Amino acid sequence: MVEGKLKSRTYRRIHKTTPGGRKVIHYVKRKPQIAHCSSCGKGLFGVPRERPYKMQNMPKSYKRPQRPFGGILCTRCSRAKIISEARK
């Protein structure tokens, strides 16, 4: 019988075939939701959906776009912010 904590859908179920030919179920924590723009709430591109233990081993250039406000604002909002700052 499976553990009680694995019965809920908190864990994703992955069906695997072992080298011996048995079918087993592996339980893996789900990925977090996509990162969102702090201004408009739109999903951010270039920011991976990974668990924190995988993100900490990833290079900084993979974690967020290398531009001003990268990983915080979407391209449209960051462009508008830069233009408004330049006009002041």
- Choose among 50, 48, 51, 45: nearest CA to 73: 45
- Structure confidence at residue 1 (pLDDT): 85
Overall average pLDDT of the 44-50 stretch:
95
User: What is the rounded CA–CA span in Å between residue 61 and residue 30?
Assistant: 24
Higher model confidence: residue 88 or residue 77? 77
Q: What percent of the chain has pLDDT over 90?
A: 97
Q: How would residue 57 be classed by pLDDT, with cut points 50, 70 and 90? A: very high
- Kind of pairing between the strands at 11-17 and 23-29: antiparallel
Q: What integer best gives the mean pLDDT of the chain? A: 95
Spatial contact of 34 and 50, defined as CB atoms under 8 Å apart: no
Against a cut of 0.75, is the pTM above it? Answer: no
Q: How would residue 49 be classed by pLDDT, with cut points 50, 70 and 90? A: very high
Q: Which helix (H) or strand (E) holds 15?
A: strand 11-17
- Structure confidence at residue 56 (pLDDT): 95
